[in-house]
Structure 1
Amino acid sequence: MDTLARTIEILRDLVAFPTVSSDSNQDLIAYIANLLQDCGATVDVITAPCGNKANLFATLGPEVDGGILLSGHSDVVPVTDQNWSSDPFALTERDTHLFGRGTCDMKGFIAATLAMAPYFAAQIKARPLHFAFTYDEEVGCFGAQHLAQKLQDRGLTPGVAIIGEPTQMRIIEGHKGCYEYSTHFRGLEGHGSAPDLGVNAVEFAVKYVARLLELKQALQGMAPSDSPFDPPWTTVNVGAMNGGVAHNVIASKAQVDWEMRPVQASDAEFVKSALRQTCETDFLPKMRTVHPEATIELETIGEVAGLIPTDKNEARQIVSELTGANGADLVAFGTEAGIFQALGTDVVVCGPGSIEQAHKADEFLSLDQLSQCLTMLSRLGDRL
């Protein structure tokens, strides 16, 4: 069986595991562990704190600093309320495209690395090759953060990491961070005819959103002069807002879901500090004048570091040589890359497929993109 056919076979198996972020990925991780152990890799399955998910970290060659890491996330987004033309968890091939949930985001890359693993094993010399497959990337990159801490505890730092998110095999050297929050408001319910006797959580949530929009505007004037991003400033987005139960009831609860995409860490602290000051000196005193137990609580869903372009980047150099690409680009979407960069690893994002197909019904990966990925990995094996 040729390598492309073997990759499709593995991808078929991977797609069949419905690893939606809300569910367990342990069966898929066990499947991957078996394949890599059969190649002679040292495999470490790291169970998540919740007990029903896991990361996998595997090594071909000596377990020393400076190795090359191939990384991908195992979880996928839901298919609920999406109109698929075929079973999303059964790989379907039509017109040189492979359809199925996760084919491009990002089980296609994972399948390619696993299909190449026997060749990598035969080529390994002094520099190790690592595999990292994580849980919960789609809901906050929690698996990668857990794995990074484990690597720090072991004192192991890969020299180079290739994150195989769908970039159409372009080399990506930078993206903004992604910080997601939910702010919860607790007031005092009452009859709508007597608003002064209650604390309307929805009204204070609206004021909070108005403050967010002021900060959003202020951030546009704070962009670094050399920011490579588009737009060059930190962005803020209010994604959802809900609260209250009826037209004539003072709302006792409300929630605002929002995010920011920092271009620099100081911007994130600016936003959080300004919101904290507004709540502590304005909103809460007014709320507690009527109801001393009123609260505003900021829940951190996830704070994922961005990938910062650097002048020296061995990962960019290696992948440029492997693909023949001249230069590197930036993207708007977030990845786990910044988490590995924070370890001291040189990182790029490069993988098969287009982000335009990710998260949609009839998600697909083209055979041409998968073949290009295999070519890159084959060349990587040649130089191990």
Structure 2
Amino acid sequence: MNSSRDLLETLVAFDTTSRESNLHLIDFVRDYLAGFDVPCELVYNASRSKANLFATLGPADQPGIVLSGHTDVVPVDGQPWTVPPFELSEREGKLYGRGTADMKGYIACVLALVPALVHAPLRRPVHIALSYDEEVGCLGVRSLLKALEQRPVKPMLCIIGEPTELKPVLGHKGKLAMRCDVHGQACHSAYAPLGVNAIEYAAELIGELGRIGRRLQAPEHHDKRFDPPFSTVQTGVICGGKALNIVPADCRFDFEIRALPSHDPSEVAQQLQAYAEQQVLPRMRAVSEQSAIHFSELSTYPGLATDAHSEAAQLIAEFSGSRAFGTVAFGTEGGLFDAAGIPTVVCGPGSMEQGHKPDEFVSLEQLEGCDAMLRRMLESIC
């Protein structure tokens, strides 16, 4: 029952959608590790409904390697699954189920390595780090990293096992998600000039976001390692209005910036806020002094840009068997580990082409490849 395939079957059966608790999965991992006399530390959220897990195997007084994964998965609501999403189904060499690719397949491979880790003469420690709420803004890992900051010895490398088809990834974009609330003044639509139409002024702000985004596409802002090679801006949610014959008093929209590691995404938010205060709000308040525009942060995480000549890059090349370093468009917890002073790379089984979709899967070949990569890591620190 210690094979990566069997462990994945157990992990998939836990519904750890971000809106749910992950404690049943964490309890399983804690008990699994206890079976090998491996203690672990749990770092809970404020309501103690979720927890991060951190365990160390080997000499804790040496810099070691963190094998990190998130336990939460995205919802299956409304998706046309042809197999039960929280049961592992096998078909033609593929293992189907929510989280198989993103990223319980990697966690299963890490846990399958535990028996070998326990019996190996480790010169350096291996740390297992499992987090919660990655899918909703990389929230849980922050408290785990805060706890790790108190330790006298920092890890030399963190491997984030997001699905990259086991290709070593050294970079990804950062993200800033924002909300804008526009408050105007309602009135009968027959007297529209007497009101402040919040939807129309929100549309002006969204239009300005589009102009900022187009400026970021200029060649001088490009980084050809990424696809697309520039920072992107997009509005994803908008709501407002009560009825067609009422000038809407309120409108809200959410937008995000996916920024190159060299670009501070808050610059976009600051530019939009300046436009709002200087160009839009004065016209609104000329009609109603109570008009307001308010910006609030929804979530943020930094990008990752590990040097291809760093020790971390050389290690993942050795473990993965490839020096074809790449980047990915999606974000990970890697930027937060890196910001905490832990050199970080991304490399795991499966493909994000299957992540977040119905009938998500990871191939048995990819699981076996991840097992082999982790065994090479183990051999290098024995």
Relative to the length of structure 2, the TM-score reads 0.94
Q: Deviations over 1:81-109 (max 9, x none)?
A: 11111110011111111110000100010
CA distance in 2 between partners of 1:87 and 1:360 (Å) = 13
Q: Is the 8 A contact 2:307 2:313 kept in 1?
A: no
Query: Counterpart of 2:304 in 1: which secondary structure?
Result: coil
Give the equivalent residue in structure 2 for 1:272.
Answer: 269
CA offset digits 1:278-314 (Å, max 9, x no partner): 1222222222333333322222121111111314322
Tell me by how many angstroms 1:224 deviates.
Answer: 4.6
Distance 1:219 1:69, change over 3 A: same
**Structure 1 residue 307 corresponds to structure 2 residue 304:** yes
Structure 1 letter corresponding to 2:13: A
Give the direction of change, closer, same or farther, for the CA distance of 1:363–1:272 in structure 2 (3 Å limit). Answer: same
Partner of 1:142, secondary structure, is: coil
Q: Secondary structure at the match of 2:286?
A: helix
What is the distance in 2 between the residues matched to 1:381 and 1:94? 31
How far off is 1:37 after superposition? Answer: 2.5
More displaced 10-residue stretch of structure 1: 305-314 or 336-345: 305-314
Q: Which moved more, 1:12-21 or 1:215-224?
A: 215-224
Q: Deviations over 1:47-94 (max 9, x none)?
A: 012431111111112334621000001000000011111110011111
Residue number in structure 1 paired with 2:86 = 89
Displacement of 1:370 after TM fit?
A: 0.4
Which residues of structure 1 form unaligned runs of 5+? none
- C-alpha deviation, 1:266, in angstroms: 4.6
Equivalent residues in 2 for 1:29-40 (5 A)?
A: 29-40=26-37
117, 120, 123: which is aligned to 2:117?
120
Q: Using the alignment, how far apart are the partners of 1:252 and 1:65 within structure 2?
A: 60
How do 1:63-102 residues align onto structure 2 when only pairs under 5 Å count?
Answer: 63-64=60-61, 66-102=63-99
Identity of paired residues, percent? 41
Moved more, 268-277 or 24-33: 268-277
Cα distance in 2 between the residues matched to 1:374 and 1:348: 17
Show structure 2 runs of 5+ residues with no match: none
Q: Distance in 2 between matches of 1:262 and 1:161?
A: 22
Give 2:358's match in structure 1, choosing from 345, 357, 361.
361
1:106 partner SS:
helix
Among 177, 185, 201, the alignment partner of 2:174 is 177
Does 2:251 correspond to 1:254?
yes
- Residue in structure 1 matched with residue 162 of structure 2 by the alignment: 165
Q: Distance in 1 between matches of 2:88 and 2:49?
A: 25
Q: How does 1:1-384 map to 2 (within 5 A)?
A: 6-64=3-61, 66-221=63-218, 223-224=220-221, 228-264=225-261, 266-384=263-381
Shift of 1:36: 1.8
**How many angstroms does 1:243 deviate by?**
1.1
Matched residues in 1 for 2:94 and 2:112: separation? 19
What letter is aligned with 1:67? G
User: Over aligned residue pairs, what C-alpha RMSD do you find?
Assistant: 1.8
Specify whether residues 265 and 327 from structure 1 end up closer, same or farther in structure 2 by C-alpha distance, changes over 3 A only. closer
Q: 1:226 to 1:79 in 2, by over 3 A?
A: closer
